[in-house]
Structures are given as C-alpha cells and as structure tokens.
Amino acid sequence: MENNLQISSSEQFYLSKKESVNNTLQLPNKSFLQKSYSFQKLSEIKKDANFVFLIGGWITQTSALMQIKNPIDNLIKQDIVNMFGGYWSNLGLEDLIKAFELERFGIFKEKTEHYQLFDSNYISQILKKYQNWKREKKIEFNIINQNNQQVKELTEKEKSEIMTKAINDKYNHFCTTKQILEPFTHIFTELVNRGLIKTPSTENPNLFYYYDKKLKEAKEEIEIELKSQKHTDNLKRKEVKLILESIASNQLNKSLKAKIEVRAKKTILIEFFNKQIMLNKIKIF
C-alpha cells in the first residue's frame, strides 16, 4: 500500500512538471529546437530533492505509453535515475518527453523494440536517435545557439559530414522499405548542391521539361488523393472542394504550390535513389 502511494505521488509530481512544459512541447519543430538551448538541464534539476520523484513519475508514465506491461524492478528504476543524473544529464525534461513522443509517432527512421523491458539500455537507444534527429533538424533549419556566443559553431567540414550521414541513412532506409520519410527536402537540396541531382538551367534545357512533367504529375496525384477522401465534416468538405477548384483552374495559392513542389521533389528523389540501386550503390557517399 505504501509503495502504491509513493508511485502515485511520483506520477502526480511528474504530471505537474509536464503540465508546465506542455506549451513548449506543442511548438513546431523549429521553435522547439530554438528554445531547447534554454531548457533547464537534468544536471540542475537533480539538485532538487524531488528529482527521484520526477524521474520515477516519468518512468511510470512513459513506460505505460510505450505499452510496457511488465513491472519495472526498483533496481532498474534506480539505475535509470543514476543515468539521468549522470550520462544524460545534459538533456532537459522536455527532451525526454519529446524523444519518446517522436518514437511513438514513428518519426525516427527505425523503431526500437523494447521487448517488454524498460531499462537504461532501451532508453539510451531512443535518446541517441533523438540526438541525431536534433542535429539534423538544426542543420535543416539553420539553428544556432543565440543565447551563448561562446558556443562553437559547426565547421563546414562538420556540416558536410553530418549531411553525408543523413543522405546515406535516408538512402539505406529507402533501399530497405522503398519509402522516403519526412523530412527529406534538405536531402534533395544537398544532393542538388553537390551536383548529383541536376536542375534546369541554360546548360540543361531538357530538364525544364522534366521538372515541369514532375510538377504536373504531383498536382494530379494530390488531386486524385483529395477526390478519394470522404469527409463527414462540412467545413472540411468545403475546404477540399475549394482546393480542387483551385487546382482545376490552376489558381494555386502559395501553400498549395509548395505542397506540389515538395511532392515533385520526392518523386525526383525516389527516381535518383532507384538509379543508384540499379548501379548497385551501397551508399551515396
């Protein structure tokens, strides 16, 4: 009975802390990452006497969300507390919550199996993926720490190495699944910058026709998808109808044009990757 009360108090304490950072967690990725430099680190939070309650509540809530049905041994819980007070103490509470949210939502390239074991090893695997995600997104959004002028900016070589890894990871995932997950526009742009994907120019006039064809195909695909959707909500039906009318009349707003361009880039990227597969490329770089 006493143990159940302790767990309940722990969860309640964690949920109160989570409530205080919910607005941050709901920010778009770019804003979230910009704000991440000011997160209070676990290394600071652990000085509070309630640190054990905070992590204990996080363990209970997060393991439930990850559908861990087996009870978590107290020794395992203590090991997790020690880990957050040491190795991962450079992260904030927001980072812990966000990392496992991205895992549940399938944002990472691969899902990490927990095999009904919520321990330090499993948690670290998720956090390592989260760190890679943060690094790639910060490069994509060109985010640097404005709050600390002494923070060392990445060199051009470091940026190039990170992008090379991102491209190879995206290609390997495509080779396995035949799917390209978002985000991918930064991959497309980097391949264009490195000259592997050609764009229309006076030197390549035929590419004007190729890109125009891909844009038309993308527009047709989006139109077919919209027509196939069945909505019970009247406002949604009217919204879809207006979009279809704008496509039919070719009166595209900025948002719809961007959507079509992104779809066309995805098709071009798929064709590029398929060509590399035909050439028996194990990786792009």
User: Smallest Cα–Cα separation from 84: which of 56, 64, 115, 104?
Assistant: 56
Given a contact cutoff of 8 angstroms between Cβ atoms, the answer to whether 262 and 255 are in contact is no
User: Smallest Cα–Cα separation from 172: which of 106, 104, 265, 110?
Assistant: 110
Q: Is the pTM of this model over 0.75?
A: no
Given a contact cutoff of 8 angstroms between Cβ atoms, the answer to whether 99 and 61 are in contact is no
In the numeric block, the tokens 């890109």 are attached to 211
pLDDT one-digit tens code per residue, 77-86: 999 999 999 9
- Lowest mean per-residue pLDDT among 2-16, 139-153, 186-200, 228-242: 2-16
pLDDT one-digit tens code per residue, 107-117: 988 889 888 89
In the numeric block, the tokens 């699944």 are attached to 177
**Alpha-carbon gap, residue 183 to 265, rounded angstroms:** 12
Q: What is the mean pLDDT of residues 201-210?
A: 85
For residue 282, name the pLDDT band (cuts at 50, 70, 90): very high
16: enclosing H helix or E strand? helix 2-25
The two three-digit tokens of residue 219, written as one number: 């527009």
Given a contact cutoff of 8 angstroms between Cβ atoms, the answer to whether 39 and 98 are in contact is no
Q: Which residues contact 214 (CB under 8 A, 6 or more apart)?
A: 264, 267, 268
Residue 41 per-residue DSSP state? B
Tell me if residue 92 falls in helix, strand or coil: strand
**Alpha-carbon gap, residue 78 to 83, rounded angstroms:** 9
Q: Which residues contact 99 (CB under 8 A, 6 or more apart)?
A: 126, 127, 129, 130
pLDDT one-digit tens code per residue, 162-189: 889 989 999 999 999 998 877 788 889 9
